[in-house]
Amino acid sequence: MTTVLGAPLSPFVRKVRVALAEKNLPYDLKPVFPGSDEPEFRALSPLGKIPAFKDDRVGLADSSVICAYLEKRYPSPALLPADPAAYATVLWFEEYADSKLFHVCTEGVFFERIVKAMRSAPADEAKVAAALKELPTVCGYLEQQLAAGRFGGSTFTLADIAIATQFVNLQHGGEQIDGNAFPKLAAFVTRTLARPSFADCVAQERQVLSGKH
């Protein structure tokens, strides 16, 4: 059985779960928190980061590595284009999302307000404010790239998944994209999160956040 090891609120775990759902692949989610010493998890993820992954052929860590593997093993529907330039463009937006967007949306807002609350620690609102100060620059860049057709087109890709997943964490942290300033980006996030692959994950996460699961 294909298994994803991780916590559902992680943007990187969600990225892998959405890719699996888009490819119609069943899997189990084994709950594991970042830094866990659980032996199977540590063997799969020597850095102690989530997600980890295993199936009948391989054990892996890192959402980008896992998604690259899924793409090779299950090429249809494709989440990465065949054309070299389009392929590299998707990888660039995946990298931008995993680094810069993660820093602003997830580390800066979600971690401070949600993860710390789960640990009964107070949010550092100065850190949240610093992250939110960066948000317009990030959204401005994405708005412009979206208008140029560099992601968010008619063919759904890993770039779309990687970008949208970080904005879920921004929303969990109580913040939104300014739809007046960045209408294309706000619409992109709304329509991407309406896909069943995202909507199913986010519905489960809201249960976790409300303490019902």
List contacts with ligand GSH (CB under 6 A): 10-12, 34-35, 48-51, 62-64, 98
Residue with Cβ nearer ligand GSH (92 or 184): 92
DSSP assignments along 33-63, one per residue: -TT---HHHHHH-TT-PSPEEE-SS-EEESH
Q: Give me the least distance between CB of 140 and ligand GSH, in Å please.
A: 25
CA–CA separation, 128 vs 63, rounded Å? 25
Tell me which H or E stretch contains 195: none
For residues 94 and 175, which CB has a smaller minimum distance to ligand GSH in the complex?
Answer: 94
If you ran DSSP here, which 8-state letter would residue 104 be given?
I
Q: How far is the CB of 98 from ligand GSH (least distance, A)?
A: 5
Is the CB of 52 or the CB of 186 nearer to ligand GSH? 52
Give the whole-angstrom CA distance, residue 96 versus residue 92. 6
Indicate the residue among 22 and 62 with the shorter CB distance to ligand GSH.
Answer: 62
Report in angstroms how near the CB of residue 16 gets to ligand GSH at its nearest. 8
Residue 183: CB minimum distance to ligand GSH, A: 29
Give the shortest CB-12-to-ligand GSH separation in angstroms.
Answer: 4
- For the bound state, the minimum distance from the C-beta of residue 10 to ligand GSH, rounded and expressed in Å, comes to 4
Q: Which residues pair with 29 in a beta bridge?
A: 4
Nearer to ligand GSH, 168 or 193 (CB): 168
Task: Name the residue with tokens 């692959």.
Answer: 197
Which residue in the block uniquely carries the two structure tokens 């990225």? 15
Rank residues 63 and 157 by Cβ distance to ligand GSH and give the closer one: 63
Distance CA(114)–CA(123), nearest Å, equals 8
Type of residue at 144: Q
